[in-house]
Structure 1
Amino acid sequence: MNNVHQTKCAKEPVAIKVENLVKTYGNDVKALDGLTFSVKAGAIFGFLGPNGAGKSTAVHIMTTLVNPDHGKVTIAGMDIISNQAVIRQTIGCVAQKSGVDLLSTGRENLTLQGQLYGLRGSQLRTRVSDLLERFHLTKVAKRPANTYSGGMQRKLDIAMGLIHRPRILFLDEPTTGLDPESRTALWESIRELAKEEGLTVLITTHYLEEADQLADEVAIIDHGKIIIKGNPEKLKEELHGDILQLELSETNSFENIEHIISDLPEIQEIMIENDSVYIRTDSSAKIVAVVLGILEKAGVNIKSTTISRPTLDDVYMKYTGKTLSKSEGEVDS
Structure 2
Amino acid sequence: MKEETGDAEVAVVVRGLTKAYGGKAVVDDVSFTVHKGEFFGLLGPNGAGKTTTLEMIEGLRRPDGGSVSLLGLSPWPRNTSLLTRIGVQLQSSAFFERLTAREQLTTFGALYGADTDRTEELLALVGLTEQAETREDKLSGGQRQRLSIACALVHDPEILFLDEPTASLDPQARRNLWDVLRGIREQGKTIVYTTHYIEEAERLCDRIAILDGGGVIAMDTPTELISGLGRPTSMELPTSVIGPDDVRRLPGVEEVTEEDGRVSFRAADPGSLMQALTEKGIAGSLQIRAASLEDVFLELTGREYRS
TM-score w.r.t. structure 2 length?
0.82
Query: Structure 2 CA distance, aligned partners of 1:287 and 1:25?
Result: 58
Aligned partner letter, 1:318: E
Which secondary structure does the structure 2 equivalent of 1:20 belong to?
Answer: strand
Q: Do structure 1's residue 57 and structure 2's residue 48 form an aligned pair?
A: no
Shift, 1:139, TM fit? 2.0
Tell me the residue number matched to 1:295: none
Tell me the residue number matched to 1:90: 85
| Change beyond 3 A, Cα 1:209–1:283 | farther
Which secondary structure does the structure 2 equivalent of 1:226 belong to?
Answer: strand
Aligned partner letter, 1:232: P
Aligned partner (choices 184, 187, 202) of residue 192 of structure 2: 202
Tell me the residue number matched to 2:40: 45
Tell me the residue number matched to 2:123: 132
CA contact (8 A) 1:266 1:287 kept: no
Query: Structure 2 CA distance, aligned partners of 1:284 and 1:238?
Result: 24
Query: Structure 1 CA distance, aligned partners of 2:146 and 2:269?
Result: 43
Tell me the residue number matched to 1:311: 292
| Change beyond 3 A, Cα 1:276–1:88 | farther
Tell me the residue number matched to 1:23: 19
| Change beyond 3 A, Cα 1:307–1:98 | same
| Change beyond 3 A, Cα 1:20–1:152 | same
Query: Structure 1 CA distance, aligned partners of 2:268 and 2:158?
Result: 47
Tell me the residue number matched to 2:157: 166
Shift, 1:286, TM fit? 7.7
Tell me the residue number matched to 1:230: 220
Tell me the residue number matched to 2:140: 149
Count of aligned pairs:
285
| Change beyond 3 A, Cα 1:282–1:194 | farther
Q: Return 5+ residue gaps in structure 2 as ranges.
A: 240-251, 275-285
CA contact (8 A) 2:48 2:214 kept: yes
Shift, 1:274, TM fit? 11
CA contact (8 A) 2:89 2:152 kept: yes
Aligned partner (choices 97, 107, 111) of residue 116 of structure 1: 111
Q: Return 5+ residue gaps in structure 1 as ranges.
A: 249-263, 290-304
Identity among equivalent positions (%) equals 35
Tell me the residue number matched to 2:181: 190
Tell me the residue number matched to 1:107: 102
Shift, 1:239, TM fit? 2.8
TM-score w.r.t. structure 1 length?
0.76
What's the CA shift string for 1:42-100, capped at 9, x where partnerless? Answer: 01111100111000001111111101000000111112225711122211010111223
CA contact (8 A) 1:170 1:203 kept: yes
Which secondary structure does the structure 2 equivalent of 1:227 belong to?
Answer: strand
Which secondary structure does the structure 2 equivalent of 1:174 belong to?
Answer: coil
Q: Do structure 1's residue 219 and structure 2's residue 200 form an aligned pair?
A: no
Q: Do structure 1's residue 66 and structure 2's residue 61 form an aligned pair?
A: yes
The RMSD of aligned alpha carbons is 3.1
Query: Structure 1 CA distance, aligned partners of 2:210 and 2:75?
Result: 23
CA contact (8 A) 2:222 2:293 kept: yes
Query: Structure 2 CA distance, aligned partners of 1:34 and 1:48?
Result: 16
Shift, 1:118, TM fit? 2.1
